[in-house]
Amino acid sequence: MTTLLETTVCNEKTVITNLDIFCNVLQRHRKYLCKFIEWELGICVDENNKCSDRISQEEIDKCAREFMKHFVICENCLQSDTNILTKVGKRQVKKSEIYFDCNICEHQTPVRHERLASLAFENIVPFIYQNKRGEWDVSV
Ligand SMILES: [Zn+2]
């Protein structure tokens, strides 16, 4: 299997060397992937992408694949060109209404991972605004 996240070891701690590039490619803010890794592995990831423990390459990559499955890959066409948003058109958005929108086939995949949905909800809802046409929209 291809390596997704590259790591190195510094003072017995794992550092993810391409985390920011990886997140840019996936069009997801790094905080989502860092949190996901923290939940999955029970560690902390600091702002320099250094883990609080030594983690194997396999474990880190497993996290990356799970993250993509839950939060990036379109369930319809299996492409990764998607954007996180909510169904717009109303002001009140529920946690169960966090989707990612496919830029290839336009399918909306619901975020079924409870904690990722909560995290996205907390980060998206403050950015809902009324656009010039008077419709409710999100600015993320
Ligand atoms: Zn798609």
Residue 56 CA to ligand 1 centre (angstroms): 32
Residue 76 lies in a domain: no
Average pLDDT of the segment spanning 4-30: 95
Q: What is the share, in percent, of the chain residues with pLDDT greater than 70?
A: 83
**Using CA of residue 66, residue 138, residue 98, residue 83, what is the dihedral sign?**
negative
Residue 73 CA to ligand 1 centre (angstroms): 8
> What domain range includes position 64?
7-71
What is the tens place of the pLDDT at every residue in 18-75? 999 999 999 999 999 999 999 999 999 999 999 999 999 999 999 999 999 999 999 9
- CA separation for the pair 135, 61 (Å, rounded): 40
Residue 27 CA to ligand 1 centre (angstroms): 15
Residue 114 CA to ligand 1 centre (angstroms): 22
Residue 13 lies in a domain: yes
Residue 2 lies in a domain: no
